[in-house]
Amino acid sequence: MDISSGSFPPSGEDSQWIVEGSDQTFMQDVIEASKHSLVLVDFWAPWCGPCKTLIPNLEKVVNQAAGEVKLVKINIDENQGVAGQLGVRSVPTVFAFKDGQPVDGFQGAIPETQIVAFIKKAGAGGALEQIEQALAAASQAFQDGELDQSASIYAQILQAMPDNSDAMIGIARCFVAKGEYNKAKDTINAMPPEMQKLPQVKSILTAIELSDDGSSSDDQSSELEAKISAEPDNFEAKFDFAKSLSAQGDHQKAADQLLEILEKDLEWNEGAAKEQLLKIFEAAGPTAEVSKTGRRRLSSLLFS
């Protein structure tokens, strides 16, 4: 796949690939249609809570598959014939049909990632695979420091799939890494409310907060570093220097300054150093090396 070409499948309207089915239209909507593409049949009911959780995820993934998969939703309260023939005992129940035959199925509300895996196991999802590869390439570019390239790939993904949470979060991270905090905020504000509640988004907001909280000039940072060199136990200077380093995105060096304070006084300034350190961990993310090693060091201090 040539990621740089931006050759992603276009995002389509729900009506193209998602229909309300019935016992009467089952032959046409499912059996005949499955001879041309994979068809998912979702048996649901208006009173079913898990159905309300599953349906949006199904619809999102089917739209992302861009025509490789069709979704037929059948209300079992109004259509019990086919559901009875297929032995549906509870809802939601989903069957995958291919070449006129059911080839797989699952029950209950499963997350989006498992729906993608289900579709790929049934022999479809090439478009989903393409997006996954692009997301991996964008992530690798970010790790390599190629921020413009990473942001460009994320932007291409969003052109094809405007509600892709990984791409929206990824491009916001790129803006933060480039110091373009207003663009990062605009990206977050454009996210659906549910997406804004994700831990990854909270991490980005914390990184922005740290940048606002610790902004200082290079001269001020140099002065603080010189003061610490002359006065190693000047915790106030260490704390201000750590905030300055956090604002510059140097989480590791900032964490080291704070941990040096905590090694001598765990409750310094009513826990300010500990609180600032936890913000750094959140901004960096749980898989970052500074978070993993820093938490281990902090735990050893807390429980020694």
Q: Where are the alpha helices (DSSP H) in the chain?
A: 14-17, 26, 49-64, 81-85, 112-121, 126-143, 147-160, 165-177, 181-189, 193-196, 199-213, 218-230, 235-247, 251-264, 268-284, 289-302
- Among residues 178, 65, 177, the alpha carbon closest in space to that of 112 is found at 65
Tell me how far apart the alpha carbons of residues 288 and 298 are, in angstroms, rounded to a whole number: 15
Question: Which residue of the set 48, 91, 171, 188 is catalytic?
Answer: 48
The length of the chain, given as a count of residues: 304
Question: Which residue of the set 51, 61, 153, 284 is catalytic?
Answer: 51
- 89 membership: H or E segment, kind and range: none
48 is catalytic: yes
Q: What is the DSSP letter of 11?
A: P
Q: Say how many C-beta atoms besides its own lie within 10 A of residue 45's C-beta.
A: 15
- Vertex 210: Cα angle to 209 and 216 (nearest 5): 120
Tell me how far apart the alpha carbons of residues 269 and 265 are, in angstroms, rounded to a whole number: 9
Which sequence positions are flagged as catalytic? 48, 51
